[in-house]
Structure 1
Amino acid sequence: MIHASIDGFHHPRALRHARGSRDPEGFYRDSYDLAALQEHLLDPFAPGGHGQYRTRVFDARTDTPDVAEQQQAAPGTVLIVDGIFLHRPELRGYWTWSLWLDVERATTLQRCVARDGSGSPAPADASNRRYVEGQQLYLDDAAPQQQATHVVDDNDLTRPVPLR
């Protein structure tokens, strides 16, 4: 089994924020380098893929390339990818199984503040516009809850509830 995150495939900050640092469209459309994700991680595991993969190519925290060493997956290796925006139309054909964690917006923001140690947990706060409205663009464009093969209510981390 190989585990990777879409977070290893960010665009550089200048591109992520080209539409403005608080722009929701930029958050949804420009955060991730989907071509690199496909080339270095997804295509190698796709049917007919060569199995030579990288789990990351960029570090968003340092805003610098961070290219993982290329590795060779054994035949039959399972790839698990986590992160946001993975049910985008451009990526749907890669998944044989997917999970949507259904969580209230306020809960996701509280978790984000707890994780990062900064920000506002209030969905209506102006500082959250990029993320709240960007996530809504994703929901409208990709309908991830309908695309996922499994859906779990994850509002209570101690008691996830399978919905589908």
Structure 2
Amino acid sequence: MELVTTPRVRFLRAVADVVLERYGRGRMIVAVTGPAGAEASRFADDLRDVLAERDHTVFRAHLDDFHRSREAQSAFGPDTPERYVRYGFDESALLRSLVEPFRMGGSAAFVTRVLDAARDAWVEPKWITGPEDAILVIDGRFLLRDRLARLWDYRIAIDGEPTDPADVIAYAERDPRTVADLVLDLSDPGHPRAV
């Protein structure tokens, strides 16, 4: 289905062109990150729609759906921004349940969420598969930290200074804008632009 052309959609189509230049056959993962409140999730949703408009099979995932439970986080000490940065997400589950099986392609099944963070409850896994050629668009804070950045084929960072204490810690260690393939200014959401 063709989307209504707006300045935002026109820009997203240009981003999709750049992403698809790297996409041949097989599986590709695009990561979208930014500080808290940066609209990374909305941008990732819109990018998914533009990629799907071109008849690509596209899946969506959110890093927030790979939180550790509150109980599991408490094993790492008191609830602090530093603990959240270091141990808030279950990166092992992200790799085991989503990234690695998605990369395998074919009939390998993967899940796009393991925990409902708002309810602090595990979700019944919905194992899905897709064709050999597919794109996964994932969004979330800290996706471009050193140990995760290598997992993504294309990295997009939303510009913005960190104000949340957890973001301040994470950005001090590695500012995602320095390792992203594309940095975006979304201060005017209807007219995004590359920085």
* The two structures share one fold, judged by TM-score above 0.5: yes
For the pair 1:83 / 2:115, whether they are aligned, the reply is no
Cα offset, 1:103, TM superposition: 2.1
The CA deviation at 1:146 is 1.1
1:138 pairs with 149, 170, 189, which one?
170
**Cα pair 1:56 1:67 within 8 Å, conserved:** no
Question: Per-residue deviation at 1:161?
Answer: 2.1
TM-score w.r.t. length of structure 1: 0.75
**1:6 aligned residue:** 63
- Counterpart of 2:119? 62
How many pairs were matched up?
Answer: 137
Secondary structure (helix, strand or coil) at the match of 1:38 reads helix
Aligned counterparts of 1:66 and 1:85: Cα–Cα separation in 2 = 23
2:105 touches 2:132 (CA, 8 Å); kept in 1? no
Corresponding residue SS for 2:134? coil
- Mind listing any 5+ residue stretches in structure 2 that lack a counterpart? 1-57
Tell me the CA shift for residue 150 of structure 1.
Answer: 0.4
The aligned runs of 1:1-164 (5 Å cut-off) are 1-17=58-74, 18-21=76-79, 23-46=80-103, 51-105=108-162, 132-163=164-195
SS of corresponding position for 1:72: coil
Q: In 2, Cα distance between the equivalents of 1:76 and 1:67?
A: 26
Query: Identical aligned pairs, as a percentage?
Result: 28
Q: Is the 8 A contact 1:154 1:161 kept in 2?
A: yes
Structure 1 gaps of 5+ residues are: 106-122, 124-131
Q: Which secondary structure state, in structure 1, belongs to the residue aligned with residue 146 of structure 2?
A: coil
Task: Decide whether the 8 Å contact of 2:106 with 2:129 is kept in 1.
Answer: no
CA deviations on 1:101-148 (whole Å, 9 max, x unpaired) are 01244xxxxxxxxxxxxxxxxx5xxxxxxxx22212211223211111
Counterpart amino acid of residue 80 in structure 1: V
SS in 2 for 1:90: helix
The alignment yields a C-alpha RMSD, in angstroms, of: 2.0
Higher relative contact order (CA 8 A, sep 6+): 2
Deviation at 1:9, TM superposition (A): 0.5
Given the two structures, how large is their TM-score scaled by the length of structure 2? 0.64
- Partners of 1:60 and 1:38 lie apart in 2 by 18
